[in-house]
Amino acid sequence: MQVKDIMSTEVETCLTGTSVKEVATVMCLNKLNGLPVVDNDKNVIGVISEKDILFAMFPDMHDVMASGGKADFEDMEKDYTGILTKTVDDLMTKTVASVSSEMPILRAASMMWVYKIRRIPVIEHNKLVGIISMGDVHKAVFQESLLNKS
């Protein structure tokens, strides 16, 4: 089975320059943990995830060491509103792991495992054509095994 057989083609995305507040709103309301960042031509230029947003609240190691090795996590929570004023360009991951629609689904799953991600964009000629999740792969393999048991 190939990625094209199970991928979702309706993908929630955001454009460069989109505010983190807007992206966080879309993620929270739609129960998504990340979005591909595209330009006006649907070229994928990054991915913004909950992890990217939350990690932006953490001080870098130099700051932690300068403060005696202690981090004030409650103060970090207050800084969240400052993070919301940034744009996706400030926080997104620019190196994007992706798969092609012709790739076998278990190879796509192995890439997600290697990169420790739960979903991966499907890209053809640098254009976003879909997305596939670990759940999509598991469901397809499960259904295929049920069909072969009969």
**pTM of the model as a whole:** 0.80
Tokens coding 114: 């290697």
Coil, strand or helix at 5: helix
Q: Are 94 and 47 contacting, i.e. CB atoms less than 8 angstroms apart?
A: no
pLDDT band at 148 (very low <50, low <70, confident <90, very high): confident
Calpha distance 145→137 (Å, rounded): 12
What letters, b where the CB count within 10 A reaches 16 and e where it falls short, cover 93-120? eeebbbbebebebeebbebbeeeebebb
Q: Where are the beta strands (DSSP E) in the chain?
A: 14-15, 34-38, 44-49, 119-124, 127-133
In this structure, CATH architecture of domain 3-149: Roll (3.10)
The pLDDT tens digits for 102-139 are 999 999 999 999 999 989 999 999 899 999 999 999 99
How many other β-carbons are positioned within 10 Å of the β-carbon of residue 64? 13
The pLDDT tens digits for 11-53 are 999 999 999 999 999 999 999 989 999 999 999 999 999 999 9
CA angle 8, 111, 18 (to 5 degrees): 55
